Structure 1
Amino acid sequence: MKKRFVAGLLGVALVAGLAVGCQKQETKEEGKESYEIGISQFAEHGSLDNCREGFLAGLKKEGIVEGENLTVQYKNGQADMGVVSQISDGFVSGKVDMVCAIATPSAQSAYNAAMDTDIPVVYTAVTDPVAAELSDADGNGVGEVTGTSDQLPVKEQLEMIREILPKAKTIGIMYTTSEANSVAAIEEYKELAPEFDFEIKEVGVNNTSEVALATETLLTGIDCVSNLTDNTVVASLPGILDKANAKNIPVFGSEIEQVKIGCLAAQGIDYIALGEQTGVMAAKILKGEEKASGIPFETISEPGFYVNLEVSKNLDIKISNELMDTAVESFESIEVK
């Protein structure tokens, strides 16, 4: 009798388990399966934070909502490649459904960790996916990896600088020598600068500890600075701005957040919009509508003009009415970080 009772319980449990399995299968078929995503962000600064915010908004737009059918593990590498590697390995060993990698070093690390698994990697804020070896020359992923590029509108940036500073000759740029996106951007600047009668003075750094000394070198013999989306340099941007302002040297940014905190102006992209675009791509992969390898990386086609009028006033630099008419957004104060 006791054995029969136990067997009966096992039978009930088995039926219940089958019911749960069927229910889960039905949920999956309806596109309502729950997901777990690991977000690996290389460093903490405004543009990358905006990418993360936009990414989650893009998923929500497609019905994948944190706290409902989405669990998110968020990890920040604090610009330390050792930490970034640990984050990637942890997500892969934890068998998340997808890794979202924000910025080139995180994207490269995540792909290397996941390449022998079935975990797709979706990246954002990668300036040059081809140079980063995440994509082939046609824009297709080298494996189950895809995402969005924040390729700098270098030509438009140079054109803007020439209009604002008609007498300028030399532009200084600081970059991290190990960041593939920054190296590619420097090469594009050097290639296009002669079209606008500019020379480029480049100063490379390996990490944030070198930025202070490199800034002193950078600010010698130049007319202005053009800042990239280089993660190491952006993390130190407030200090660079302080030293540049003391010498009355204008600093041009590469996106809206840099203009908010004290860069004079930028021809840049909206990182929330870029992140949202990435989230929509990720949703298609999670739902099984596309494979990451089947989606070429995407970019935002049109840059926007952003200007900080408080900075222009402090530097006594006039922004023409024609250029102001094109501004996506202007700021009347400097945001303190």
Structure 2
Amino acid sequence: MNRFRPVAAALGAVLAAAAIAAPAAAQQKSVAVVAIVEHPALDAARDGVREALAAAGFKEGQNLRWQYQSAQGNTGTAAQIARKFVGDRPDVIVAIATPAAQAVAAATKQVPLVYTAVTDPVAAQLVPSWEPSGTNVTGVSDMLALDKQVELIRQVVPDAKRVGMVYNPGEANSAVVVKQLQALLPKSGMTLVEAAAPRTVDVGSAARSLIGKVDVIYTNTDNNVVSAYEALVKVGNDAKIPLVASDTDSVKRGAIAALGVNYRDLGVQTGQVVARILKGEQPGAIASETSSKLELFVNRTAAQRQGVTLSDALLKSAAQVIE
């Protein structure tokens, strides 16, 4: 019988190793991330999610499977990616920007969905209210208080009467902002002049249509516009129309000023919500969140090119001044 002991010992070792490996395999988590398009703000949000997950102990190649795909600005592609991810059955799907989140929400009512960089999740019909949804959806909004945006426009262009806005009418984020500005601007003696850009390639022509009609152009976090911001900057520089943004990365690309969310911080905040779900919380029990961390960026060179002299007070209040 002794000759069987080595075999039995080897078999025991294999079974013991399998017993150890089984819990480790059970702890493996999967997060699938879809963005409607790639641009600096949304990329920063994605990287923030990954950073927060690592800080919470979920690391790629160890106990986390991470998938990422961009829809390249195409809502049809976003829907395809959403269906593919739902079929993969990850533990959480993270959707960056409203069209991506809407695509995932349409594709599943079971897989946990955490949205980020969505201005108004209620208007986008992702959640019924800002309270815990009771569904598979929660997330972090980049909604901004528009009264502060109007105040910034006044600081950059004190005599402005007509505010232009290039936006995609099909993006819920932008449609909400347009409606709110239509009501808010007259209280400050200004009116809104709209220019539709349904596609990224329309941004330049939409901006040109505002020449001679506006004193300043304001842009929200519309993904079409942000993706093609250089086209808007060219019009602003050539026609001497000041550009004010709500995305601080747009200041680095040629806007004069922006008071906006730090999208990496927004991503970190989103990743912390994802980690809570991976650890067992239900998405429907987690209320949608916003970020209260706003930063003012100012571009002195852009101001010169667009014919604006910035006040010392505005420059001193900026978190970052780009020369």
TM (norm. structure 1) is: 0.88
Structure 1 residue identity aligned to 2:56:
E
Counterparts of 1:203-222 in structure 2, within 5 Å, are: 203-222=195-214
Q: Measure how far apart 1:236 and its partner are.
A: 1.5
Give per-residue Cα distances to partners, 1:216-250, cap 9 Å, x unaligned: 21233100100111111111210111012100001
Give per-residue Cα distances to partners, 1:15-70, cap 9 Å, x unaligned: 95686356534786xxxx22111110100111100100111111112111223221
- Structure 2: runs of 5+ lacking an equivalent: none
Counterpart pick for 1:102 among 96, 102, 114: 96
- Structure 1: runs of 5+ lacking an equivalent: 333-337
Give per-residue Cα distances to partners, 1:271-320, cap 9 Å, x unaligned: 000000000110010011x2111111111114221101111232342222
Matched with 1:326 is 317
Give per-residue Cα distances to partners, 1:178-223, cap 9 Å, x unaligned: 1111101111111211222111101223222333332221233100
Query: Match of 2:118, SS?
Result: coil
Q: Measure how far apart 1:81 and its partner are.
A: 1.0
Counterparts of 1:1-337 in structure 2, within 5 Å, are: 20=18, 23-25=21-23, 33-115=27-109, 117=110, 119-141=111-133, 143-288=135-280, 290-332=281-323
Please give the alpha-carbon distance, in whole angstroms, between the structure 2 residues aligned to 1:168 and 1:209: 28
Please give the alpha-carbon distance, in whole angstroms, between the structure 1 residues aligned to 2:177 and 2:159: 24
RMSD: 2.2
Q: Measure how far apart 1:147 and its partner are.
A: 0.8
Please give the alpha-carbon distance, in whole angstroms, between the structure 2 residues aligned to 1:298 and 1:245: 37
Structure 1 residue identity aligned to 2:267:
G
Task: Note if contact 1:256-1:270 (Cα within 8 Å) is conserved in structure 2.
Answer: yes
- Which ranges of 4 or more aligned residues in structure 1 deviate by more than 6 Å? none
Task: Note if contact 1:51-1:274 (Cα within 8 Å) is conserved in structure 2.
Answer: yes
Query: Match of 1:125, SS?
Result: strand
Query: Match of 2:319, SS?
Result: strand
Q: Measure how far apart 1:102 and its partner are.
A: 0.4
Structure 1 residue identity aligned to 2:22:
K
Please give the alpha-carbon distance, in whole angstroms, between the structure 2 residues aligned to 1:18 and 1:265: 62
Task: Note if contact 1:254-1:267 (Cα within 8 Å) is conserved in structure 2.
Answer: yes
Please give the alpha-carbon distance, in whole angstroms, between the structure 2 residues aligned to 1:274 and 1:39: 15
Please give the alpha-carbon distance, in whole angstroms, between the structure 2 residues aligned to 1:250 and 1:223: 7
